[in-house]
Amino acid sequence: MKIQLWREMLDPYDLAVKELITKFEHLKYEHKARGLYCPIEDVTGRVKSVSSILDKLKKKNLELEQMEQELDDLAGIRIICQFVEDIEKVVSIIRSRTDMTVRQEKDYITNEKTSGYRSYHIIVDYQVQTLNGPKTLKVEIQIRTMGMNFWSTIEHSLQYKYKQNIPEHIREKLSNAADAIEVLDREMSEVRNEIMDAQNARQIQSNI
Amino acid sequence: MKIQLWREMLDPYDLAVKELITKFEHLKYEHKARGLYCPIEDVTGRVKSVSSILDKLKKKNLELEQMEQELDDLAGIRIICQFVEDIEKVVSIIRSRTDMTVRQEKDYITNEKTSGYRSYHIIVDYQVQTLNGPKTLKVEIQIRTMGMNFWSTIEHSLQYKYKQNIPEHIREKLSNAADAIEVLDREMSEVRNEIMDAQNARQIQSNI
Amino acid sequence: MKIQLWREMLDPYDLAVKELITKFEHLKYEHKARGLYCPIEDVTGRVKSVSSILDKLKKKNLELEQMEQELDDLAGIRIICQFVEDIEKVVSIIRSRTDMTVRQEKDYITNEKTSGYRSYHIIVDYQVQTLNGPKTLKVEIQIRTMGMNFWSTIEHSLQYKYKQNIPEHIREKLSNAADAIEVLDREMSEVRNEIMDAQNARQIQSNI
Amino acid sequence: MKIQLWREMLDPYDLAVKELITKFEHLKYEHKARGLYCPIEDVTGRVKSVSSILDKLKKKNLELEQMEQELDDLAGIRIICQFVEDIEKVVSIIRSRTDMTVRQEKDYITNEKTSGYRSYHIIVDYQVQTLNGPKTLKVEIQIRTMGMNFWSTIEHSLQYKYKQNIPEHIREKLSNAADAIEVLDREMSEVRNEIMDAQNARQIQSNI
């Protein structure tokens, strides 16, 4: 496929990512402006790179034409939360929005992947306007704590290096790290109410 | 009204402006990426300031509660075009979008205001998601050439200084300027086809 | 030259453009925050595209290695002013800064090019920090009114299309347009003091 | 002090923060573009809020006039690293730059605060251009891992709520969290070389 055609195919996904970042950033701002604790700490997004798309198609034994149908994460949004409890809050906000429709939810927190990967994924349908009229496309929203995010960044790099064959001593380090992060997230949850009160108090103060 | 309440009232308008700028900027990008001439040269937006809102309510003899109902330009988008002919292209793009609904169109180009003001205004209904759920609000989209924009920037400042009483010698200069701009826009229109071809050729070239 | 090498060569120019836009934008903000009229209406910037660089080298009969030495506009900043009088204000601001050194000034307003092109150009030395340490490079700053900018945008497209051979009937239209713009800029200058007072009054008002 | 005066005093700090974010972001980009591992994961910055400034002056028993002299963190930059080892790399980059001068370094990693706070602080002198000419001001650059950042975000909120008197059961949770983070950072360091290789390989790949 020519670079020009890739571009035309991926442009609407790029627009979806930009619109959704704008929307979730505003949600943060709106909480802050009203002195409310915000379950969203950070929002990022990306369109999948052409080389990653080609890798995934090959791995799944798919044709180029099946790309938009079969790949759920051409457009990806990542929402980082301070606490595990914030994740379900974000999920319920997404379910209640009328500008996107939930297609599928994957709870890799309750059902941790064997690799140790933990995150909550929601695939939504989202409509953008293009030069050829409206187009509805899929966007994958990943919701996770800072700890889960740290772990998966590292694991993703190692997966990339070793493909399926991460050496045992490294796998063990990763597993230890995952345990340390679970302890951390649990300790943090236990002081969460205290912290939420504290943060609200600060925001109200700084709005005065 | 307390500053906190103004903020809560105006926040959704702020979000609408941000989303629409993102969308119209992408439209520019999309034309460019495909080597097509884009009728949009520049996009800006703003939420009306509290002091301007108060002035307008007073002038129109309205209560605070009537603000959202009666003022069409709490959220404003301005689209600048290179040529007069581009304006109708932008208008027809807006009419065909499914993420906004045209409420009203005001053609101050065919029907120039007595002040000399020329622009095409479209009031649309646009929906945003807030902490309290979806909200549909009005946005005023102004479409004009660079020349029309230059003139109205100047005139707006003078209106502000002199209220309704701009001195005769200044009114005359403004009128001369408006005439010069019309000549300019007309001359430019006559070479428009040549220029469009030239700009398309450049964009295709730079995409290679 | 490989794309990777182009990138490494042009990256410092990209950084210079980003830094200078940040700095000139702040200057606008600083004027506004103090209720002062700002001689800068708009700031944009760009790094010259690889295809434009190659064209220019060919036209000037230069080698690739001479590029940084011989081309003054690898990094370009454009400052748009409301009034002709603002241009000299911007020039004197640039001359007085200690974070850049003026190498050369070209006054194409007093000495209009035969094509009708009018603008004030300043070439400055500007230092950025790179992975390999500090690097001083040249940046071309173009200062012009909105009218001059409009004209040169059009002329640039036509130059591109026709190379040196713009047809006579188009050359004439361009010349008429240049005249209309000079009339416009002159009329505007004559009401400049009134307008500056008006804009200051508005800014002070909206800062309260 | 009037809001207008606060603004004029803090504006140069705001410019410094914007310039430094632009510069450190470019450093990330430059590493990525050359397929090099970047010791910087994320950069943020802020100007201290007026209410925080007043609190700190009161706590330190200082007058308003001493603010710029005595407070080192009116402008603050925060650099987040993936690994503990990256911190010293960032420190040595900062020391070698010619656009800032190190005034002071505080190593709260080797010398953890009694609260458990860990971070590396560098105070630099940095010059910006203002309406009144050049001005040299202090900027505090904090360098820390993602784990250290997580902990200090939480601790800062609790400090704010309880002032000096954090209850014992919460202090204990914080201490457990700090321990979990140290374990995590240590485990990660042990696979760092593997990960750096992996990330370099990916970047080179995606640049092709």
- The interface predicted TM-score of the complex, written ipTM, equals 0.83
- List the beta strands (DSSP E) in chain C: 42-47, 75-81, 101-107, 120-130, 133-145
- β-pair type (C120-130, C101-107): antiparallel
Would you call A92 an interface residue with chain B, using a CB distance cutoff of 8 Å?
Answer: no
Q: Given a cut of 80, is residue B161 above it in pLDDT?
A: no
Confidence of residue A203 (pLDDT cuts 50, 70, 90): low
Which residue's structure tokens are 């103090």?
C34
pLDDT of residue B208: 41
pLDDT of residue D197: 66
Chains in contact with C, where contact requires at least 3 CB pairs less than 8 Å apart: B, D
* Catalytic entry in B88, B140, B168, B172: B140
Tell me the two tokens of residue A174.
């990763």
- Catalytic residue at D140? yes
Nearest Cα of chain C lies from the Cα of B2 at a distance, in angstroms, of: 15
Tell me the two tokens of residue D82.
């993936």
- List the beta strands (DSSP E) in chain B: 42-47, 75-81, 101-107, 120-130, 133-145
Chains in contact with B, where contact requires at least 3 CB pairs less than 8 Å apart: A, C
- If one compares C77 and A176, the residue with the highest pLDDT of the two is C77
Identify the CA nearest to D163 among candidates D85, D61, D59. D59
- Interchain contact, D18 vs C19, CB within 8 Å: no
Q: What is the mean pLDDT of residues B76-95?
A: 95
CB-based contact C190:B172 (threshold 8 Å): no
Would you call B134 an interface residue with chain A, using a CB distance cutoff of 8 Å?
Answer: yes
CB-based contact C65:C106 (threshold 8 Å): no
* Alpha helix segments (H runs only) across B34-167: 50-59, 67-70, 84-96, 146-162
CATH 3.30.70.2740 given to domain B3-207: no
Would you call B15 an interface residue with chain A, using a CB distance cutoff of 8 Å?
Answer: yes
Q: Select from D21, D23, D135, D206 the residue whose CB has the most chain C CBs within 10 Å, as the one to mutate to test that interface.
A: D23
- If one compares D204 and B140, the residue with the highest pLDDT of the two is B140
- Interchain contact, D27 vs C127, CB within 8 Å: no
Identify the CA nearest to B7 among candidates B53, B38, B55. B53
Q: How far apart are CA D106 and CA D123, in angstroms?
A: 8
Would you call D161 an interface residue with chain A, using a CB distance cutoff of 8 Å?
Answer: yes
Q: Listing from the earlier edge strand, what are the strands of the sheet with D75-81? A: D42-47, D75-81, D133-145, D120-130, D101-107
Q: How far apart are CA D125 and CA D104, in angstroms?
A: 10
Nearest Cα of chain A lies from the Cα of D187 at a distance, in angstroms, of: 6
Contacts of B199 in chain C (CB under 8 A): 157
As a whole number, the mean pLDDT across chain C is 89
Q: Given a cut of 70, is residue A204 above it in pLDDT?
A: no
The pLDDT profile of chain D, 208 residues, written as one tens digit per residue, is 787 889 999 999 999 999 999 999 999 999 988 888 899 999 999 999 998 999 999 999 999 999 999 999 999 999 999 889 999 999 999 999 999 999 999 999 999 998 889 999 999 999 999 999 999 999 999 999 988 998 888 888 787 777 778 888 888 888 888 888 888 888 888 877 777 766 666 655 554 4
Per-residue pLDDT tens over the stretch A57-114: 999 999 999 999 999 999 999 999 988 999 999 999 999 999 999 999 999 999 999 8
Determine C/A contact with 3+ CB pairs under 8 A as the test. Answer: no
Identify the CA nearest to D181 among candidates D154, D199, D156, D159. D154
Confidence of residue B142 (pLDDT cuts 50, 70, 90): very high
Contacts of B150 in chain C (CB under 8 A): 146-147, 184
Q: How far apart are CA C46 and CA C22, in angstroms?
A: 13
Chains in contact with D, where contact requires at least 3 CB pairs less than 8 Å apart: A, C
* Catalytic entry in C19, C140, C168, C194: C140
Would you call C116 an interface residue with chain B, using a CB distance cutoff of 8 Å?
Answer: no
Tell me the two tokens of residue B143.
């479409």
- Interchain contact, C129 vs D23, CB within 8 Å: yes
Would you call B202 an interface residue with chain C, using a CB distance cutoff of 8 Å?
Answer: yes
Q: Residue A129, Cα to own-chain centre: how many angstroms?
A: 23
**End-to-end distance of chain A based on CA atoms, in angstroms?**
56
The residues spanned by each domain of chain D are 3-207
Query: Nearest by CB to C157, which of B161, B174, B198?
Result: B198
State which H helix or E strand residue B200 sits in: helix B192-207
Q: CA separation (Å) from A78 to A44, A84, A104?
A: 5, 15, 16
Q: CA separation (Å) from D180 to C59, D113, D175, D184?
A: 64, 17, 9, 6
Residue D151's contacts (CB-CB under 8 Å, 6 or more residues apart) are D116, D117, D118, D174, D177, D178, D181
> What are the two backbone dihedrals, phi and then psi, of residue D3, each rounded to the nearest 5 degrees?
-55, -40
Contacts of A11 in chain B (CB under 8 A): 26, 29-30, 33
Nearest Cα of chain A lies from the Cα of B19 at a distance, in angstroms, of: 6
- If one compares B202 and C55, the residue with the highest pLDDT of the two is C55
- Interchain contact, D161 vs A188, CB within 8 Å: no
Q: How far apart are CA A87 and CA A82, in angstroms?
A: 9
Which of A:135-154 have CB within 8 Å of B? Answer: none
Contacts of B206 in chain C (CB under 8 A): 49, 51-52
The most confident of C100-114, C180-194, D30-44, by mean pLDDT: C100-114
